Chain A
């Protein structure tokens, strides 16, 4: 394949933002050593975080950051889906509703009345929801923020037309492969690792802290069992609820279990 042929066939990439902190988009810019290779393989057609120049759609690959929190965004995502051959959501906001989904457990009108001087100007939805609640999503990349290596893998897999090698097992497998001693067993430190999806590289246990669950629930998480283990280790019900209600609060399994513990 010649360089010229490559340029002609380069797929168009778009990066979109909804309710989020931009941290996941920054993970892409953090790929400093690989950025040239990325732009060699794909055309960055729409990425306001990185460049003002805009190439019109449709797009071959759209990366979507953020959750849906306004009626306007709920409409905007439909158009993006229509303009995108493949749509990948990146980060806890886009895959689970983000920290802002804490509103789902309360009355958002009450919040706006307390926070804003003129709440009548706030046009927001009652809930913060993941992109997959609104449109078909081809792949979800977890994390708060995402791991830039995994993002590179998703892009590389797209270019190679294969499935990304992104595991859905627990964080424990990452601790054990590295030889990190289990903080829960050896220190009695409550840890969400056993029910959290791998991907971060088990950063917190490596520093003797319990996992915070940034990557959301792992495949088939057994929440009642980990809740019982936390309570046994001395965590209060409130602490268990708070552990579940962070970046992935609205992930269905975590939301259900936090409601159950809160109501007990």
Chain B
């Protein structure tokens, strides 16, 4: 993004409307940020009128508040309570169902109904990284989740380089933002130096380039390209929260018996909120239900959580039967064993688990406290093996 190239074009809100319209015409269900219930959530949108124009957010541990901006920014806020996983990995999904016919024969009906073709507007760097993490979970191994694959492969992604970070953001520590790295069709950077916001847009895919071409926008000037770069740099500089990832897996593996787990368990509600808002958490349970006549059965997948006791119920009892053990499992998996399992951290630094924890538990603070304790008693590393 050092200089203007032919692939960078300059857009206005009117062009974004044109893009949304074109996507809708082409059969996409366009979803994007919109204001509802005192927050910026993701829902179906019809035009830029549905976007949170002139809104921003204040986020702290356990606290989220909307407020007005003094400009007309369409993307002037950080990530909210929803993530794109609600579209790629729906919270409830019928996997298959069975009907028993009169003669007693079972008829099995295949999985989910028709999946909509989604266009996501306003995907941030950390969110793009989260989608890549879930790609590895659902589509990276030997066994693929066909529903996820269908949704993912047909999704059109309009990303946004963050022009503003929240207090809870720490993407810079996780290497996931505030600029969007890759995986998008079109990426936007919002410029707010004039009354009307402008957008420097670039395409990463040919389909993205084709849409930009349809909008008939002018190439971005060298000045605008430079300004877009500065937007990202300014956001980087505004991020204050940090997570030290150096040797974090080994640190956590060596901290299994640390007293900090008791400390956090005294505050943790085990309510599942952190895992529900996490854009990478993928745990789910499958329930089979029947009707009274025992003639029809449904197999349904639902979001579940490692903070639920039932989640680790096996013959003989619950594996993780204390909040201490459940919080330890979540944090150690998210920041540590995820690396062994999937080759990356499970955390993208979006800060949702911090803001949406009703009692404001901060994963970065917990990790820092564990590290401090670990460094003062490194002998535990040996005990871990």
Question: Could you tell me which A residues sit within 8 Å of B by CB distance?
Answer: 34, 37-38, 40-41, 152-153, 155-156, 159-160, 165, 167-170, 172-173, 176-182, 184-188, 191, 193-195, 208, 218-222, 224-226, 228-229
Nearest residue (CB) in A for B60 is A185
Chain B residues whose C-beta falls within 8 Å of the C-beta of A194 in the assembled complex: 269, 271, 273, 358-359
Known: A165-B289, A181-B39. A173 touches B81 (CB 8 A): no
- Measured CB to CB, the closest approach of chain A to B88, in angstroms, equals 14
Q: In the complex, what distance in Å separates the CA atom of A180 from the CA atom of B91?
A: 12
Within 8 Å of chain A (Cβ to Cβ): is B267? yes
Complex interface: stretch among B121-129, B157-165, B304-312, B333-341 = B304-312
Number of A-B residue pairs, CB cutoff 8 Å, is: 136
A177-B276, A228-B359, A229-B62 known; A169 and B41 CB under 8 Å?
no
A22 to B91 Cα, complex, angstroms: 34
- Contacts A179-B82, A186-B65 hold; do A173 and B303 have CB atoms under 8 A apart? yes
Q: Does B314 contact A (CB under 8 A)?
A: no
Asked whether, in the complex, the Cβ of A172 is within 8 Å of the Cβ of B276, the reply is: yes
> Which residue of chain B lies nearest to A191 when distances are taken between CB atoms in the complex?
B358
Task: Say whether A159 contacts B294, CB under 8 Å.
Answer: yes
Contacts of B355 in A (CB 8 A): 185
**Interface contact A173-B272, CB-CB below 8 Å:** yes
If A160-B294, A173-B308 touch, whether A153 touches B358 (CB-CB below 8 Å) is no
Q: Which residues of chain A are within 8 angstroms of B269 by Cβ–Cβ distance?
A: 170, 194-195, 221-222, 225-226
Of all chain A residues, the one with the shortest Cβ separation from B303 is A177
Closest residue of B by beta carbon distance from A226: B269
On whether the beta carbons of A34 and B292 are closer than 8 Å, the reply is yes
**Contacts of A228 on B, CB cut-off 8 Å?**
359
Contact B310 A169 (CB under 8 A): yes
Q: Is the CB of A37 within 8 A of B276?
A: no
For B302, the closest partner residue in chain A by CB is A177
Residue of A nearest to B289 (CB): A165
Q: Which of B38, B86, B309 contacts A187 (CB 8 A)?
A: B38
Q: Which of A160, A167, A181 contacts B38, CB < 8 Å?
A: A181
Task: List CB contacts (< 8 Å) of B260-313 with chain A.
Answer: 266-273, 276-277, 287, 289-294, 302-305, 307-310
Q: Which residues of chain A are near B65, meaning CB under 8 Å? A: 186
| B212 CB, min distance to chain A CBs, angstroms | 31
A176 with B272: in contact, given A37-B293, A186-B64, A186-B65 (CB under 8 Å)?
Answer: yes
18 pairs, CB–CB < 8 Å, chain A vs chain B: A156-B291, A160-B290, A165-B287, A167-B310, A170-B269, A181-B38, A182-B273, A185-B64, A194-B359, A195-B271, A208-B37, A218-B271, A219-B310, A220-B322, A222-B268, A222-B269, A224-B266, A225-B267
Given contact pairs A170-B271, A186-B39, A228-B359, A181 touches B81 in the complex (Cβ within 8 A): yes
Question: Whose C-beta in chain B lies nearest to the C-beta of A1?
Answer: B104
Residues of B within 8 A of A169 (CB): 272, 305, 307-310
Q: Which residues of B have CB within 8 Å of A191?
A: 358
Question: Are A40 and B292 in contact, with the CB atoms below 8 A?
Answer: yes
Among residues of A, the one whose C-beta sits closest to the C-beta of B266 is A225
**Chain B residue with minimal CB distance to A205?**
B37
Contacts A168-B309, A169-B308 hold; do A229 and B273 have CB atoms under 8 A apart?
A: no
A169 to B291, CA, bound (A): 24
Cβ of B258 to closest chain A Cβ, rounded Å: 19
- Contact check: which of B38, B302, B303 meets A186 at CB < 8 Å? B38
B323 pairs with A220, CB closer than 8 A = yes
Residue among A38, A160, A172, A180 with most chain B CB within 10 A: A172
Which residue of A has the minimal Cβ distance to B318? A219
- The reply to whether the CB of B55 lies closer than 8 angstroms to some CB of chain A is no
Say whether A156 contacts B292, CB under 8 Å: yes
List, in ascending order, chain A residues with CB within 8 A of B289's CB.
153, 156, 165
Contacts of B358 in A (CB 8 A): 172, 182, 184-185, 191, 194, 226, 229
Contact B91 A176 (CB under 8 A): yes
Residues of B within 8 A of A173 (CB): 271-272, 276, 303-305, 308
| B92 to chain A: closest residue by CB | A177
